[in-house]
Amino acid sequence: MNETLRLIIAQHQMNFLEQYPIVSRDMQILPVPRKATVIVGIRRGGKSTWQHERIQTLLGEGVSKEQICYIDFSDDRLDFLRLESTRPTIIADTYYGMYPQNHTKNVYFFFDELQYVHQWGPFINRLQSTEKCEIYITGSSAKLLSKEIATELGGRTFTWELFPFSFREFLRASNLHEAITDIASRDRVIEAFNEYFKKGGMPERLLLPKDSMAPPYFQNLVNDVLTRDLILRYNIPHPTQLKRMVQLLMGTMSRLTTVNKLKQRLAGERQTLSPALINDYLDKLADSYLLFTVPIRSYNTAIQAVNPKKVYAIDHAIAQAFSYSTSENAGLILENMVFIELRRSMKEIWYYKTEKGDEIDFAVGLDSDIRLLQVCWTMQSQNGTRERECGALFDAMRELKLHEGWIITAYEEEEIINEESGSIIHVIPAYAWLLEQRGTS
């Protein structure tokens, strides 16, 4: 076992010298002394690549490769570490056996997919307490990293969420400038926005040679998340019903739904799930960073419980792989894009219902700094979209005593002023709004 570990550690150190394209992420991760840096997010969302970017940065700062220990615990050669009888202390013993002089130096440990290892909590605690080191941990399940790490490591961690590419990062991955300086650069950004709308932000999606490969790629990704992060981890007794529930939720992206509605849809297909199980599965889907639900704005949990919730996918292109009516659902796709951009930097996200019963897509932030955002593909349709969207937003602004509100469209830009109240609605094109955002990822 020690020889296998020695080989893997040495192989990775040799590979550090191999340069390969890395898209720099906007998320600024700042290590905290004596705290493990934990990075969570959807599978294949770029966590491992971020670790390699950090390694390249350390090497560029003069850190020797012998001071870096990188281990990917999904490596099949490390299956012995998944046995309950194997203690992970063998990792540190092997590394410091290779480099005993590094006990006095700062060592950088990168542990990818640590959830595969038994008894990792005491091991990480001891490593931080007895050695000079920085520890970086990734995992694909937020439940592992919020509940288990909280109990295993106490306050000795700092957690960061890594989401799929933002529009800014998408431009970077496409070797395009992120700023609009003239008409030509604006047109290039709009063209890239149209590509982002179609392809989404999952890093591997940009590497697919044909667009026709995207649906099966995303469907396989979802199946992988469900199987590894939910069904096997929690011993889910209803895997077929869970998978069908996820398909239904993907098809309701950016729409309101209820537990009872999901229960009835599943029952109509002879896929029975209780409301309690549906709620539990919704929580686990959010933990795995696959699907999120947004409640109505209220601090009364009873009111939140009886009202529908809005459903959003981690990436709009993933949801599209389960629903092919893209042209009809452009506004819903755009709304999902806006939600994920908001979710990068905050968790205080609700939808709002006016006293007249009209819906505002997003009410974000706490009372002291709340913002209202509507999302629609265009304000120029013939079915009264402009009057409906503006009327509902002005009503909500009046009820919440807000002077400003925002409507995000695909390409349109203007300011609409309410002559009676003097309040302003800023209509902003999505490509410009996405460029302005500076989330944590």
The band of 441, judged by pLDDT with boundaries at 50, 70 and 90, is very low
Q: What is the rounded CA–CA span in Å between residue 325 and residue 323?
A: 6
Triad 17, 30, 97: Cα angle to 5°: 50
Longest dimension (CA), the chain: 77
The pLDDT value recorded for residue 113 is 82
Domain count, the chain: 3
The 3-state secondary structure of 347-400 reads: CCEEEEECCCCCEEEEEECCHHHCEEEEECCCCCCCCCHHHHHHHHHHHHHHHC
Q: Are residues 438 and 365 in the same domain?
A: yes
Q: What is the rounded CA–CA span in Å between residue 320 and residue 218?
A: 9
Q: What is the rounded CA–CA span in Å between residue 427 and residue 375?
A: 10
Q: What is the rounded CA–CA span in Å between residue 337 and residue 170?
A: 13
Q: Are residues 343 and 256 in the same domain?
A: no
Residue 116 has pLDDT above 60, yes or no: yes
Tokens 């292109």 locate to 317
Q: Are residues 8 and 153 in the same domain?
A: yes
The residue among 324, 352, 382 that closes a domain is 324
Query: 377 or 79: whose pLDDT is higher?
Result: 377
Average the pLDDT over 86-101 and give the result.
93
Per the CB < 8 A criterion, the answer to whether 88 and 71 are in contact is no
Q: What is the rounded CA–CA span in Å between residue 82 and residue 129?
A: 24
Average the pLDDT over 75-99 and give the result.
89
Q: Are residues 440 and 330 in the same domain?
A: yes
Per the CB < 8 A criterion, the answer to whether 135 and 111 are in contact is yes
Residues whose CB falls within 8 Å of the CB of residue 287, separated by 6 or more in sequence, listed in order: 141, 142, 143, 146, 229
Residue 128 has pLDDT above 70, yes or no: yes
Q: Exposed, middle or buried by CB within 10 Å (0-12, 13-18, 19+), for 255? A: middle
> Rg (Cα) of the chain, in Å, rounded?
24
Q: Are residues 334 and 234 in the same domain?
A: no
183 within some domain? no
Residue 147 has pLDDT above 70, yes or no: no
User: Reduced to 3 states, what is the DSSP secondary structure of residue 417?
Assistant: strand
Provide the percentage of residues in the chain whose pLDDT is more than 70.
93
For residue 406, the 8-state DSSP code is E
Residue 40 has pLDDT above 70, yes or no: yes
The CATH number covering residue 432 comes to: 3.40.1350
Q: What is the rounded CA–CA span in Å between residue 320 and residue 333?
A: 8
47 within some domain? yes
Q: Are residues 7 and 110 in the same domain?
A: yes
The pLDDT value recorded for residue 324 is 60
Average the pLDDT over 110-128 and give the result.
86
pLDDT tens digits for range 172-223: 999 999 999 999 999 999 999 999 999 999 999 999 999 999 999 999 999 9
Average the pLDDT over 388-395 and give the result.
95
The band of 81, judged by pLDDT with boundaries at 50, 70 and 90, is confident
The pLDDT value recorded for residue 368 is 81
Tokens of 48: 């491992």
Q: What is the rounded CA–CA span in Å between residue 152 and residue 36?
A: 12
The band of 354, judged by pLDDT with boundaries at 50, 70 and 90, is very high
The CATH number covering residue 313 comes to: 1.10.10.10
Q: Exposed, middle or buried by CB within 10 Å (0-12, 13-18, 19+), for 384? A: exposed
* String of DSSP letters for 55-119: HHHHHHTT--GGGEEEEETT-GGGGGGGSTT--THHHHHHHHHH-GGGGGS-EEEEEESGGGSTT
Tokens 């869970």 locate to 242
Q: Are residues 217 and 272 in the same domain?
A: yes
Average the pLDDT over 331-343 and give the result.
97
Residue 416 has a CB neighbour count (10 Å cut-off) of 17
Helix axes 120-130, 89-98, angle to 10 degrees: 40
Residue 16 has pLDDT above 90, yes or no: no
Average the pLDDT over 256-260 and give the result.
95
Q: Exposed, middle or buried by CB within 10 Å (0-12, 13-18, 19+), for 104? A: exposed
User: Reduced to 3 states, what is the DSSP secondary structure of residue 220?
Assistant: helix
184 within some domain? no
The pLDDT value recorded for residue 339 is 98
The residue among 126, 161, 196 that closes a domain is 161
Residue 24 has pLDDT above 80, yes or no: yes
Per the CB < 8 A criterion, the answer to whether 160 and 440 are in contact is yes
Residue 137 has pLDDT above 60, yes or no: yes
Q: Are residues 148 and 68 in the same domain?
A: yes
Residue 95 has pLDDT above 90, yes or no: yes
189 within some domain? no
Compute CA 271 distance to the chain's CA centroid, rounded to the nearest angstrom.
Answer: 29
Q: Are residues 338 and 312 in the same domain?
A: no
The band of 149, judged by pLDDT with boundaries at 50, 70 and 90, is low
Q: What is the rounded CA–CA span in Å between residue 201 and residue 318?
A: 10
Output the average pLDDT for the chain: 90
**Closest alpha carbon to 352 in 337, 340, 367:** 367
178 within some domain? no
Q: Which domain holds residue 245?
A: 208-324
The pLDDT value recorded for residue 32 is 84
| C-alpha dist (Å) from residue 126 to 72, 88, 151 | 20, 11, 15
